[in-house]
Amino acid sequence: MVTGTQPLPCKNPVGDHLLLRSFKNKVDYCRLQGCDVFYSNVYLHPKMDSYWAKLPLIRSAMMAHPEVEWIWWMDADAVVTDMEFKLPLESYKDHNLVVHGWDNMVYGDNENKSWTGLNTGSYLVRNCQWSMDLLQEWSKMGPLTSEYEKWGKILTTMFKDKPFPLPDDQSSLIYLLYKERTKWGKKTYLEGGYELECYWVAMLGRFEEIIFGYNDLEEDVSSLRRRHAEKLSKYYGELREPHLKKRGWVPLSKGKRPFVTHFTGCQPCSGNHNPSYKGETCWKEMEKALNFGDDQVLRKYGFIRKNLSTSYVHEVPFDYPWSNFLR
């Protein structure tokens, strides 16, 4: 997993605290699932800043990690909210890029075309020559080129809803996929089968409901609430799967924990959040999501929160009845 933020402190007074917790969340997931995580605090190319910084970073991570098949990019404002979810890498055997998106908005006619047709906040890139070539082509639309502004005009003409004049990595990727579908689109998987990244607004008020559902399940199935070593988390995650399916809690359904919740539009560091919601809502929900993920980890250390908006934790009695503990 590769992630990162800009070199300087945040302008928003709670920004760096949220970034710290968001990084901890990613480190937790990687420890539980057995993957490496690399965080960058520098721009590898001085002109490739902001959202363009990830491209040279992913390229360098590929070179430094020849043993790795997949690089998973995660934005700093994306939070893992299902610590047991395993990326279904086996289903991507014919693809080199996996990104959350919708066919009609990426490849469809002009009416459906949107700069949010896919989201580059959380995506997978196979460590191979095809990806190296893609990164090179993709970078050519970024701040390195003398035709940067020209590309901005091309993109704003194609995507009527693009809110700013200069090129961004997301619109540029859609452009490449659409214009050269045979070359790039064929090897790109637009994932919509689970929350590779889920817009946080869709999760407003839902985390509590999910917790109660999982608790009910554990009241029925005692093996799932057994206290266990952290190294056995994957085993216990697999044990839970058939029980979730029996209740119809498959990815994208109401009962299932979303895999990744993405606080897109919140901009925790600058604080220049999308004006359609309040900053306060952003920070409060981000804290809830972080606590939701953290509780799944802390429980293995013997603790849990009774309330998602607090950092106050309680000791979990051995094989306790959930109903008495939480209600």
Residues of this chain that interact with a copy of itself (CB under 8 A) are 5, 7-10, 13-17, 19-21, 23-24, 27-28, 31, 36-39, 41-44, 46, 60-61, 63-67, 229-231, 294, 298, 300-303, 311-313, 315
Smaller CB separation from a copy of itself, 63 or 280: 63
Smaller CB separation from a copy of itself, 182 or 312: 312
Smaller CB separation from a copy of itself, 83 or 99: 83
- Closest distance of CB 317 from a copy of itself, Å: 14
Q: CA 314, CA 49: separation in Å to the nearest integer?
A: 42
- Closest distance of CB 122 from a copy of itself, Å: 19
- Closest distance of CB 141 from a copy of itself, Å: 21
Smaller CB separation from a copy of itself, 164 or 301: 301
Q: CA 236, CA 241: separation in Å to the nearest integer?
A: 9
- Closest distance of CB 299 from a copy of itself, Å: 10
Q: CA 229, CA 318: separation in Å to the nearest integer?
A: 13
- Closest distance of CB 197 from a copy of itself, Å: 22
Smaller CB separation from a copy of itself, 131 or 172: 131
